[in-house]
Amino acid sequence: MSKKALYLLGIAITIILGTFLYVNFCCNCTMKTPAVDTEKVPVVVAQDAIFVPFILNGSGIDYHTNDNIKFLKNSFAVVLPVSDSVSIGVENLKTFLIANPKQKVTITGYATSDEKNTTTYENLGLARANDIKKFFVSKGLSASQFDTKGTIIDKWKTSSDTLLGPAEYTFEVLEAAPAITDEWVILKDKINGDPLILHFSTNKSSNNLSDAEKQKVADLVKYMEHVKGAVILAVGHSDNVGNRDSNVALGQKRAEFSKNYLSKKGIDGSRITTESKGPDEPIGENTTPEGKADNRRTVITIK
């Protein structure tokens, strides 16, 4: 066979072999991947685990930090020590509650449904709330200002085996004190809030009233006329010059003088009681003339 014939035969064999290899090994390279029917694939939406930061938000307090008190899984005990930001919040709460003794705070503790409750409380969330309350009390807060409750939830944000902040704090809305509208209650508060005080010269029980004092007498007369069960109390006082017994007697004379004066203004004497404190309750310094003058007095109020 000539060289030319061999050359042509080699070309033919190469073409046949290439076609064979293409058909058997590369034809799938151009095939399209069949579309997936998305309607038959279930869509799963993950539920986010809950996390509550340490928030104190009430009338007169507003403290936020992204940290919170922590608990180990299946445990009711607060993980100690708490963070600095939580400690600062507890101190703020302490200051607020001292200034507002009628304020109540409800601590709600949370636990997940797969945790075990080995406490005597109804649920682990309630046990956690009570341990937080115990922690607050250890920091000087009043136990009487806290209520507790517990809630079970499916999921909570965790880090390893630690639950992050499964607690929140709600503040009771304090009702405003009702306005005093009764005329005679208002008048009594006025009389006792700025009582009639009669001052006396040394060893004397007489007195000349100023216009302001006369107005206070008029208020007393008006009150006693309309509030039939009311009683006036006149308490006499003295400075510390001389012996105590004589000063107590002098204070009593001053109280009796005030009673007689009010009786002349129309107040029934049987509705005026008197007593003496003598030198025992000074309001001024007995080392100065001005202080002694302040101490020689009778204070008149409604009982």
Statement: residue 51 has pLDDT above 80? no
pLDDT tens, 99-121? Answer: 999 899 999 999 999 999 999 99
Statement: residue 37 has pLDDT above 60? no
Mean pLDDT across the chain: 84
Would you state the pLDDT for residue 44?
Answer: 32
Q: How confident is the model at residue 39 (pLDDT cuts 50, 70, 90)?
A: very low
User: CB-hemisphere CA count at 13 Å for 113?
Assistant: 4
CB 204, CB 238: distance < 8 Å:
no
* Euclidean distance between CA atoms 130 and 33, whole angstroms: 61
Would you state the pLDDT for residue 179?
Answer: 63
Helix 211-226 to helix 183-193 angle, to the nearest 10 degrees? 140
Domains identified in the chain and CATH numbers: 54-171 (3.30.1330), 183-302 (3.30.1330.60)
pLDDT tens, 86-102? Answer: 999 999 999 999 999 98
Sequence-distant (≥ 6) Cβ neighbours of residue 300 within 8 angstroms: 195, 196, 197, 198, 216, 220, 232, 233, 234, 235, 258, 262
Q: How confident is the model at residue 176 (pLDDT cuts 50, 70, 90)?
A: low
Tokens of 209: 């009233």
What is the model's pTM? 0.45
Q: How confident is the model at residue 34 (pLDDT cuts 50, 70, 90)?
A: very low
